[in-house]
Structure 1
């Protein structure tokens, strides 16, 4: 594992220390790693959303489309998934 040192103003250092204590992290490094993972996830989700937005719709999202979705959810919820 690599090491990275960062400098923080006292107010940010206090905030990090507070979060470590409140949220049960063992160290400030664990907290920062979690923040970085969440940012990676956010960026991946953003990329997927942008890719989806750039894709032409496969079908029209009309009343029958949403009714079919509701039916799939009902079937899945009742344990009778037809997938």
Structure 2
């Protein structure tokens, strides 16, 4: 049973040149390996975003919903950032 599927893809010239240069430099044996590695990186990024949403954003939202007084206004955030920037540049 075949575990791969052949695709024909079209890339912008700049991306195609990058793929070819990776193979020519010996970083990868084939263009397909470059593309597979790129897809793996994309999947890893997607997993990282999903984990961040589940582990950090969701709980923060739930905590804020349970205790709305924890909220900080936009003006408070801007003031805090201005103060931190000022302190960092002095």
TM-score by length of 1: 0.59
Q: Report Cα offsets for 1:6-27 as digits up to 9, x if no partner.
A: 0123332222101222352110
Residue ranges of structure 1 left out of the alignment (5+ in a row): 58-83
- Residue aligning to 1:33: 36
- Residue aligning to 2:59: 55
Number of aligned pairs? Answer: 57
Taking the aligned partners of 1:55 and 1:19, their CA distance within structure 2 comes to 41
Residue ranges of structure 2 left out of the alignment (5+ in a row): 64-90
Structure whose residues are more often helix by fraction: 2
Aligned-pair RMSD on alpha carbons? Answer: 1.8
Aligned pairs for 1:1-83 within 5 A: 1-53=4-56, 54-55=58-59
TM-score by length of 2: 0.55
